[in-house]
Amino acid sequence: MIRRFALILALLATSAAQAADKPKYSSYPKGAKPRAAIPPPAPQPLPDLVHVAMVTELGTIELELDHKRAPVTTANFMRYVQLKRFDGIVFYRAMHIAWGQQPNGLVQAGLQNHPQKILKPIAHEPTSLTGLSHTRGTISMARYAPGTATADFSIMLGDMTGLDANPKSDNPEFQAGFAAFGKVVSGMDVVERIWGAPRSASKGEGVMKGQMLDPVVKVLTVRRVEVPAAAQ
């Protein structure tokens, strides 16, 4: 139980918001009026299964997102993809777990609460509702409390079903679990390379100390791709 609780605490931690300079004023030519902000494009309609190619500097990871069973979480992820806000993000964390079949643990990436890029938090979709589970290759949302997830996510290196929702638990965190919403269908070798990348012994706070990648692994682009005929 202590080990499981430590694992939950580790996933609850995310990096502090990045500092961003904001202009103190706007300057326009005399007599000119500022242009109205261009609204973002409307969300794309999504099929039951959505495939995404995440191109990193260590190779490409292809994800299959389960829009049918996890519609809220998948639609949120795809909104960031559509707006190209995942382009240039980094994998910044690699949690190594000594027990179980190796490699075991997770890698984590995202916008790290970037104030100009994150969208509103989404409703929590527990695995007890979706029927999904945190097995090897699963992609899952990082969060603080349930309902706070935005744009950071983790990919499992091994089976970590202790992160699934457990409605019978007396602990609210274990009851909620984490929101799994898809899986890696190609490129687990890339995920393993990210997991095995150098880590800093001093960076990170609390349970995340020693888990921060140094250097980080950059994500170049994240794009929706056609679903293979065999997967439809």
> For domain 2-14+51-225, is the CATH number 3.40.50.170?
no
Q: How far is CA 93 from CA 28, 87, 89, 130, 153, in A?
A: 42, 18, 12, 26, 11
CA-based torsion, 87, 89, 228, 68: positive or negative: negative
Q: Cβ distance 61 to 184 under 8 Å?
A: yes
Tell me the pLDDT tens digit for each residue of 50-101: 999 999 999 999 999 999 999 999 999 999 999 999 999 999 999 999 988 8
CA-based torsion, 152, 115, 45, 122: positive or negative: positive
Residues 6+ apart with CB under 8 A from 170: none
Instruction: Write down the pLDDT at residue 232.
Output: 53
Does the reported pTM lie above 0.85? no
The first and second tokens of residue 202, run together, are 């001093």
Residue 107 CA to residue 116 CA, distance in Å, equals 24
